[in-house]
């Protein structure tokens, strides 16, 4: 019987007294695509960092075997020398270097300290062809998209004669086309005998690509399921079965029950955007938002659907303090009154809040604490003679920690230590604290697990029940269908349709998303 390429036995890992891994077991066969699922904070990424040497021996307990031989990698270079390569969710590429330079960075083709550029370019071109990337080796990483950058990372792994490739949320930031290409490449690697471990929250992708799935919950491996018996066989495991293992219970309703708002201002327009036009911040001749008009009523959740590049985020950011592009026309009205949103403080003063799609870059100060991130939008209200009342600041954060169910040992903990779902709850708390009448949510559940998604859906539904107007931007059509009262579609910066809840299906939305104009 062939030995597994990887066997993990009873791995235990603690962080400052908090047990992140508690006796995890995992076995990966040669040429297998093995998915790892679990809620944020379940220990998925921590386990892979133990396997790949990010966390060195002595910082964890247990046993790791590679091809039946016990190993304990002191660092990442040691694991890569044995063919174990990890690609993190945050890509490790140098933007201003070429593809070839990135592929061989730290592993250069050199003799006596001098790089052999001819050999480097030839080998890089071969690897780029192998991953299906039609770019020249001299191209800078900064000049290609995120989907292509993922392929460069895989080419980099192949240059190290990878035997076990670990991918952490590889499609989290990719559009459907790039995701499909990447998943096809993973299937091709399996056919070449390369084992792959894929960490993902996208259960449809797991059912499509994985042979086996191991589910982690609260730092423990709770079960391993066979997804398919052969690479070309249909998936045997349903999404609901995986979800039950992840959260420890059935999720009978992934989306909260739809309840119509019946307040005094029900049916009254809270937000009206009229003729909104925005040009690209660098290429001033290019229009990225083209004459967009839409409305959101009090107590209503209105979706915005569109493919990558449709202009959804550009619309949201330009409305909120003109944070993107060059405004070229159009007005914003709140409760029937045209208001100025030229700056973020103006937008906030008029009752508009925006939760960005990129929480790590624009939504949070990762090195600061939970309580300071939550209080950022209301510091003047908590200041006395220019000094912030820290007792009041902590009390505010504690209230949100309880009401939003933010999992953290203390509100004094740096937000970078929280899982993605809990970081997103901190961002939501920060903006809910401003008391907005209009809340613009841009990909509010991106990169978070199914349990945290359900909690955020409940928060959004509760805000609508309070009469707030919610503009909900998402790339996940089932999410829009499950949450929204109406859905607008966009393509190439223009609105192409408006679909009522009762008429909306994925097919109808996709048809509107792929046409030119309403």
105 — alpha (psi -120 to 50), left (phi > 0) or beta? beta
Q: Which residues contact 428 (CB under 8 A, 6 or more apart)?
A: 355, 404, 444, 456, 459
Model pLDDT, residue 253? 64
Model pLDDT, residue 517? 47
| 137-142: Cβ within 8 A, 24+ apart | 137/98, 137/99, 137/100, 137/103, 138/98, 138/99, 138/100, 139/98, 139/99, 140/95, 140/96, 140/97, 140/98, 140/99, 141/93, 141/94, 141/95, 141/96, 141/97, 141/98, 141/99, 141/102, 142/95, 142/96
- Cβ density class 347-368: b for 16+ within 10 Å, e for less: bbebbbbbbbbebeeebbeeee
Strand ranges in 89-218 using DSSP code E only, listed in sequence order = 110-111, 114-115, 164-168, 195-199, 212-217
Per-residue pLDDT of the chain in tens (518 residues, 90 and over written 9): 578 999 999 999 998 777 889 999 999 999 999 999 987 778 888 999 999 999 999 999 999 999 999 999 999 999 999 999 998 877 889 999 999 999 999 888 888 889 999 999 999 999 999 988 889 999 999 888 878 888 999 999 889 889 999 998 888 767 777 888 888 999 999 988 999 999 988 888 888 899 999 999 889 999 999 998 777 778 888 888 888 888 776 555 678 888 888 888 888 999 999 999 999 998 888 899 999 999 999 999 999 999 877 899 999 999 999 999 999 999 999 999 999 999 999 999 999 999 998 888 888 999 999 999 999 888 888 888 788 888 888 999 999 999 998 988 899 999 988 888 889 999 999 999 999 999 999 999 887 777 788 889 999 999 999 999 999 999 888 899 999 999 999 998 999 999 999 999 988 998 898 875 44
Q: How far apart are CA 232 and CA 92, in angstroms?
A: 33
Q: Which residues contact 295 (CB under 8 A, 6 or more apart)?
A: 269, 271, 272, 273, 302
Among the CATH numbers 1.10.510.10, 3.90.1170.50, 1.10.3210.50, 3.40.50.300, which is that of 269-351+436-513?
3.40.50.300
Question: Length of the chain, please?
Answer: 518
In 248-389, which residue ranges form alpha helices assigned H by DSSP?
312-319, 344-349, 370-375, 379-382
Model pLDDT, residue 518? 44
Query: CATH 3.40.50.300 occupies which residues in the chain?
Result: 6-247, 269-351+436-513
Q: How far apart are CA 409 and CA 235, in angstroms?
A: 39
Six-digit token pair at 289? 């938002």
Q: What are phi and psi of 392, to 5 degrees?
A: -65, -40
Give CATH for domain 6-247: 3.40.50.300
Model pLDDT, residue 493? 93
Q: Which residues contact 95 (CB under 8 A, 6 or more apart)?
A: 140, 141, 142
* Pairing label, strands 269-279, 287-297: antiparallel
Angle at 18 between CA 15 and CA 20, to 5 degrees: 75
355 membership: H or E segment, kind and range = strand 352-355
Model pLDDT, residue 259? 80
Q: How far apart are CA 337 and CA 434, in angstroms?
A: 20
Candidates 489, 89, 45; CA nearest to 292 is 489
Residue 164, classified by CB atoms within 10 Å of its CB into exposed (0-12), middle (13-18) or buried (19+), is buried
């Amino acid at each position: 019987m062939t030995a597994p390429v990887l066997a993990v036995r009873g791995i235990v890992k603690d962080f400052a007294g908090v047990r992140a891994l508690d006796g995890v077991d995992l076995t990966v066969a040669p040429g297998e695509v093995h998915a790892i699922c679990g809620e944020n904070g379940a220990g998925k990424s921590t386990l892979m960092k133990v396997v790949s040497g990010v966390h060195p021996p002595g910082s964890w307990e247990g046993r790791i075997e590679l091809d039946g031989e016990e190993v304990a990698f002191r660092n990442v270079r040691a694991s890569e020398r044995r063919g174990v390569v990890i690609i993190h969710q945050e890509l490790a590429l140098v933007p201003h270097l070429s593809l070839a330079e990135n592929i061989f960075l730290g592993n250069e083709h050199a003799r006596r300290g001098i790089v052999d550029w001819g050999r480097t370019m030839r080998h890089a071109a071969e690897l780029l062809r192998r991953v299906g990337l039609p770019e020249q080796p001299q191209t800078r990483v900064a000049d290609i998209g995120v989907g292509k950058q993922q392929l460069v990372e895989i080419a980099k792994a192949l240059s190290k004669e990878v035997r076990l490739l670990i991918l952490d949320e590889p499609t989290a930031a990719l559009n459907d086309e790039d995701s499909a290409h990447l998943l096809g490449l993973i299937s091709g690697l399996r056919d070449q005998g390369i084992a792959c471990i894929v960490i993902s929250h996208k259960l449809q992708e797991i059912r499509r690509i994985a042979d086996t799935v191991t589910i982690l919950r609260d730092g423990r491996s709770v079960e391993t399921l066979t997804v398919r018996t052969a690479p070309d066989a249909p998936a045997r495991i349903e999404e609901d079965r995986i979800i039950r293992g992840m959260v420890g219970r059935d999720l009978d309703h992934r989306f909260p029950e739809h309840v119509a708002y019946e307040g005094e201002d029900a049916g009254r327009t809270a937000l009206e955007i009229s003729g909104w036009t925005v040009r690209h911040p660098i290429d001033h001749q290019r229009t990225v938002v083209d004459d967009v008009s839409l409305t959101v009523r009090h107590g209503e959740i209105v979706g915005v659907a569109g493919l990558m590049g449709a202009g959804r985020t550009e619309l949201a950011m330009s409305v909120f303090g003109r944070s993107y592009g060059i405004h070229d026309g159009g007005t914003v009205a709140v409760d029937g009154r045209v208001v100025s949103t030229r700056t973020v403080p103006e937008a906030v003063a008029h009752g508009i809040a925006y939760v960005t799609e990129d929480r790590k870059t624009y939504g949070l100060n990762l090195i600061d604490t939970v309580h300071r991130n939550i209080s950022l939008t209301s510091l003047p209200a908590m200041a006395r003679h220019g000094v912030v009342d820290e007792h009041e600041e902590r009390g505010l954060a504690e209230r949100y920690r309880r009401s939003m169910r933010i999992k953290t040992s203390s509100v004094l903990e740096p937000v970078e230590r929280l899982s993605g779902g809990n970081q997103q709850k901190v961002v939501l708390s920060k903006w809910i604290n401003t008391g907005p009448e209009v809340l613009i949510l841009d990909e509010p559940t991106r990169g978070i697990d199914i349990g945290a998604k359900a909690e955020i859906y409940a928060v959004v539904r509760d805000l609508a029940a309070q009469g707030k107007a919610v503009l909900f931007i998402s790339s996940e059509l089932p999410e829009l269908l499950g949450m929204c009262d109406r859905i607008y579609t966009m393509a190439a910066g223009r609105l192409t349709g408006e679909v009522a809840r009762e008429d909306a299906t994925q097919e109808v939305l996709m048809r509107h998303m792929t046409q030119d104009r309403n």
